[in-house]
Chain A
C-alpha cells in the first residue's frame, strides 16, 4: 500500500501544508516530517509527507528525476502542453 508521489511544499503552517504537483494542489500533513520546509520536495502518501526527496540523489533516478525537474520548472500555473 505504497503509492507515493513527489510534490513541492508551497504553503506550510505548523504541520499542515499545501503541496503542488504540476499545478494540482493538495492539503497534506507534515506531522511525520517535522524537518520539512517551504519549497521542499516531499514524497506524499495517503495525505502525509513521508520523506524529503534528496534532489541530488534523485538525479540518479529516472522518472522521479523527471518529475522533480518538472516540479522545478513548471510554476504552479501548470499550463504546460502535452507530456
Chain B
C-alpha cells in the first residue's frame, strides 16, 4: 500500500524536477484539506510543490452575515434552529451558536431529523441552517419537497448552499491567482460528476483531477496533475471512479434543480460569485426562512485583522496572517478557517506549531 504512495511520490519528484518551476495545486475540498493534514502529506511533498487550501470548506466560505442571521433566528423563542454540528462554533459578529446557548438550537445528523423536529413541535418554526456544497444540497431539496408534500408549514430553510465550479472560475478570473491546477473534491463530484470541471480545464487551461480521500489517492492525483503539467495538458481526470461517474448523480442533480436555482451570492473572502449560490425557486419560497421572517440578506464586515479571505484564495498561507496562532486559535477562533475543523487555518495550526518551532515555517 505504501509502495503506491512511494511510487506516486517518486513520480512527483521526477516531474517537478523536469518542470523546474514551482507548482501550486489548490485543493477545493475541506475533506482533502483534513486528509492532507491528518496524513501529514504536506511534510513529504517534493520541493517546489505547494498545496494551497482553497474554498473547500462550506463553513469557511459562509459569509458572516449568514451566521449573524442564524444567530438572530436562534434567539427567537418561536424558532427551533436545526443545524449540522459543523456550524455550532462558527463565530458571528456577536458570539456563536455555542455561546448563545439557547435550548432551541438542535444539532441534527440529517435533514430528516430536522423534519422530525418540525412534526414534533407544531408550536415552533423549525429553521434548518442549510449550508454545504452540492454534496449536501440534495438532502435539503428532499426535505423541502417532503415538507411541501406533507404541508409541514412550520419548516423552513435558510439557504447558504453554494456551488463549487463557479467559485473555481471566480478564483481563476482573478489575474493574481497562483493556481496551476485543481485537486477536485471527491464527494461533490459524486453529485455533479467529473464532467462538470470540463469548462475549467478548457476555458482556463487548468488540470482538474478528481481524487478520493485516502492519502494514497491524494498523492496519486497530485502525481497525475504533475504529469499533465509536464506534458502540457490541461484535462479532467477522475481517479475516484469507484464512486464518481462522469455524469454524477442525475437524480440528485435533478432534485437540486427542481427546488433551487443558481443566484449570485456572497462567499466569504471571494465576494459575490456569479451563480455561486443557490436559492429556493419561486414556487417553494414559502420555505425560505428569510421570506418567512422578513429578513434582509445581511452583509457583515470581516473581523478586523482576519485574513481568511486571502487564505481562501490561496494568496497567503495561514501563518502569514497577523492573528494566526496569537489571537486566533482553534479554542478562540476569529475567522472561519480556524473554527472549522476543515479550515485551512485550523489544519495549519496543528501542523504549523511544529513547523514554527523547528524554524521550517
Contact = CB atoms under 8 A, between A and B. Distances in A.
In the complex, are there CB atoms of A and B closer than 8 Å?
yes
Interface string B181-224: 00001111011000000000000000000001010110000000
A62 B249 contact: no
Given A47-B139, A62-B1, A64-B212, A2 B133 contact: yes
A64 B242 contact: yes
A52 B58 CA distance: 24
A29 interface: yes
Contact of A47 (B58, B112, B131): B112
A2 B186 contact: yes
A54 B241 contact: yes
A1 interface: yes
8 contacts: A1-B133, A32-B142, A32-B252, A50-B135, A51-B245, A62-B4, A63-B216, A64-B214
A70 interface: no
A61 B86 contact: no
A4 interface: yes
A77 to B, nearest CB: 24
Interface bracket on A: 20 to 34
Nearest to A67: B214
Contacts of B110: 28-29, 46-48
A37 interface: no
Nearest to B162: A1
B190 A51 contact: yes
Contact of A1 (B1, B86, B214, B245): B86
A61 B191 contact: no
A38 B191 CA distance: 22
A45 B1 contact: no
A53 B30 CA distance: 22
A57 B242 contact: yes
A54 B243 contact: yes
Identify the 7 closest CB pairs spanning chains A and B, nearest first.
A47-B110, A2-B187, A57-B242, A1-B132, A58-B242, A63-B214, A1-B58
A19 B139 CA distance: 17
B241 A57 contact: yes
Interface of B: 1, 4, 29-31, 57-59, 84, 86, 109-113, 131-133, 135-136, 138-139, 142, 185-188, 190-191, 212, 214, 216-217, 240-245, 249, 251-252, 255, 342
B242 A47 contact: no
A31 interface: yes
Contacts of B241: 54, 57, 60
A61 B132 CA distance: 26
B140 to A, nearest CB: 9
A57 B31 CA distance: 21
Given A46-B110, A61-B242, A62-B214, A4 B190 contact: yes
A57 B139 CA distance: 26
B57 to A, nearest CB: 7
Nearest to B238: A57
Nearest to B145: A31
A3 interface: yes
Contacts of B58: 1
Given A48-B142, A50-B191, A51-B249, 13 more contacts: A1-B86, A4-B135, A29-B142, A31-B255, A32-B255, A46-B109, A46-B110, A47-B113, A48-B110, A50-B249, A51-B245, A60-B242, A62-B217
A34 interface: yes
A43 interface: yes
Given A1-B59, A50-B252, A60-B241, A31 B142 contact: yes
